[in-house]
A = this chain, B = another copy of it.
């Protein structure tokens, strides 16, 4: 039995995961950035202990505690940077041990989700995979030889900030042309709003209540499914960008499977089918067997399950 903790911007999910990699008990607390770090950790530890006791277990029966954070951490459990939580160089494991003394492992949330899918999800049984989460930004996690590869200094796996378009769209990171400016929900919305303004009579515009700032990624997919030409054009551009991003991952890393998660992946086969058709033309050795592209299956459970599997 292991504990997995998924630290998010609004809530912290705690789950007890059994040997079959199922969540058997779960609870959550709101994310609090208005209290000191030690207090945040204490609240998390209390939640952990209550999840254990509500499953009728003794805290001693737990093997380890894993934590996924929207940031980076060291192997020793120091959180190096977690901007959402206001944590910079804070000794998470050390403080957590004051309340509950079990081995603690901390890693980036996309790495954790990558691990979860590779042991209990769609890429289970593979030894290498790249998980790409397509939401507001692009997160990614690399699994090589069955283990998370987060780099020598813990700063790898950031596919979203690979240069994808020299001198291109400005990114929140301060650079220009980062991959996530073209392959995220934010990118779909940017392209769609520009198109909607030019085509006030489009279905896309109608679905957004005639307000371009109400356009979402879902509006675009919905209108494209109904063959609205304005939405279809944005959809095709987005698929083309994502195909080039996926092919770049193949050309450089060539994992067994590439897993797509995050909000945009909910478009399902409407996203996957054209992508699988299109990405090989951007692969250098496209006459060879290629990685499979699959949709994530664990959804929000990936954060808890993957964290519980950290070692």
Contact = CB atoms under 8 A, between A and B. Distances in A.
A247 interface: yes
A164 B166 contact: yes
A151 B255 contact: yes
Given A152-B255, A254-B152, A288-B153, A165 B162 contact: no
Interface in A246-294: 247-248, 250-256, 281-285, 287-291
A162 B288 contact: no
Contacts of A184: none
Contacts of A281: 174-175
Contact of A254 (B153, B165, B241, B244): B153
A86 interface: no
Nearest to A150: B254
A195 to B, nearest CB: 17
A163 B285 contact: no
A79 to B, nearest CB: 13
A289 B241 CA distance: 31
Contacts of A254: 150-157
Interface residues of A, number: 55
A81 interface: yes
Interface string A21-45: 0000000000000000000000000
Interface string A155-199: 111110111111010000111010000100000000000000000
Contacts of A87: none
A144 B149 contact: yes
A245 interface: yes
A128 interface: yes
A162 B251 CA distance: 6
Interface of A: 72, 80-81, 126-128, 140, 142, 144-145, 149-159, 161-166, 168, 173-175, 177, 182, 241, 244-245, 247-248, 250-256, 281-285, 287-291
The 8 closest A-B pairs by CB, nearest first: A151-B254, A156-B254, A155-B285, A152-B256, A165-B166, A162-B248, A158-B251, A163-B244
Given A155-B288, A166-B244, 16 more contacts: A81-B285, A142-B252, A151-B255, A152-B256, A152-B291, A153-B288, A153-B290, A154-B254, A155-B284, A161-B248, A163-B164, A163-B245, A165-B177, A166-B168, A166-B241, A175-B281
